[in-house]
Amino acid sequence: MGDKTLGQSSAETLVMTPASGISGTAPANRRLAYIDWMRGLACLIMFQMHCYDSWLSPEARGGLWYRWSQLLATVPAPIFLFLCGVSFALVTERYWEKGTRRDLIARRTIWRGFEIYGAGVLFRVQEYVLGYPKSPWTDLLRVDVLNILGMAMMLMGVVCWLVTSERVAVSRRAAMLSGLVLAAVVAMVTPVLYTTHRLQFLPWPIESYIDGVHTFNAPQPWLFPIFPWIAFALVGLAVGFFLFTEFALRDARVTFAVLGLGGVGCCVAAVLLDHAPVQLYAVYDYWHTSPDFFLLRCGIMLLIMVAAYAWCRWGWARSGFSPAIQLGKTSLLVYWVHIEFVYGRLSILPKRQCGIGKATAGLLVIFAAMLGLSVLRTKWKEKRQRSVAAASGVVVRNVAEPA
């Protein structure tokens, strides 16, 4: 959910052009529109998930509407983590192209991960203070998505430090392979760490980072422990580096067609493995710990990414103002703020007391408010950048974002 603006390096901008698909001659303030759009889509799904979960009455939760809402709820967190890995690869490629020392790259990227982790801790402190005295102190140690995003970035920083060599192409291939292998290992060991081989000898705040047990007797599906969530970022890391391979740089249309086929292949393989006559695990929980469900969601991430690219290049996403792209630019901010107005003491509607109509109206209010906040944040940031540039004598030009 970061809000990184990619710089001037060709490896970082990946500007889409009609002729070749990917070009490296972009101004410094261009972004990858389809990544912002995909992150914004995750924000929209997250809004509806949180609003309906917080506001719908018990009677309203029994229908098809709520069940579909919660099914969609399985999408946002994997998208944020997956795109964290993709963005991490883009930034690392920039450093590699500049010839930055690998220890300096590791220091900067790992520190950025520590900052995100710290933001997650600060968020929990804020929620505890705003909810006091009703909020239990144990919520301060709850494992949330920001914690895992930060830890994923720190792990990816270590991985890239280990594989960096004098040749960028070799480093890239090693990073891709390492990301996929580590993701597979995390996904495969998750079921046993949740069931037959739980690390119950650990204090619960530490065990929570393994299986999300928190203060309960069993792992909780609504938390975000390392297993399996960090694996989505590792898959994103591999995909991000794939975008810079010689094959991928030839033509973006072919590249994304390959990614689409890979997404379909992951989905088909996941279904086949789920229906296999032999299971590897003594306890098989498809929706929470199964590697098959993880593989299915990876396939969905790839398909959403391909759809986002196509929509931003040939669809209406770039024909005018795009709410999804706008939200994607400030996803951390809108995540942080909307939680309090949906789940917190400042909730705009009474919790668990609303019908679908009233909750939907509240959802529209949240969407409009977060979109307005996002626009204000972007305008303030642009104004500040112009002021800094003017003070230093640099001329700043407004350039349309790439398709």
Q: What is the pLDDT of residues 215-226, one digit of tens each?
A: 999 999 999 999
Domain-embedded: residue 304: no
Domain final position from 220, 245, 261: 261
Q: Do 130 and 247 reside in the same domain of the chain?
A: yes
Q: Is residue 92 predicted with pLDDT exceeding 60?
A: yes
What pLDDT does residue 20 have? 28
What pLDDT does residue 10 have? 32
Q: Do 180 and 62 reside in the same domain of the chain?
A: no
Q: Is residue 139 predicted with pLDDT exceeding 90?
A: yes
Q: Domain of 344? A: 33-73+320-403
What pLDDT does residue 1 have? 41
What pLDDT does residue 389 have? 79
User: 34-57: per-residue pLDDT in tens?
Assistant: 999 999 999 999 999 999 999 999
Confidence of residue 346 (pLDDT cuts 50, 70, 90): very high
Q: Do 130 and 246 reside in the same domain of the chain?
A: yes
Q: Do 99 and 214 reside in the same domain of the chain?
A: yes
10-14, 44-48, 209-213, range with the lowest pLDDT: 10-14
Q: Do 403 and 326 reside in the same domain of the chain?
A: yes
Domain-embedded: residue 190: yes
| 200-216 average pLDDT score | 96
What pLDDT does residue 393 have? 67
Q: Do 224 and 175 reside in the same domain of the chain?
A: yes
Compute the radius of gyration of the chain from its Cα atoms: 21
Confidence of residue 31 (pLDDT cuts 50, 70, 90): low
Domain-embedded: residue 281: no
Q: What percent of the chain has pLDDT over 90?
A: 79
| 273-289 average pLDDT score | 92
Give 333's contacts (C-beta < 8 A, 6+ positions apart): 3, 373, 374, 377
Number of structural domains (the chain) is 2
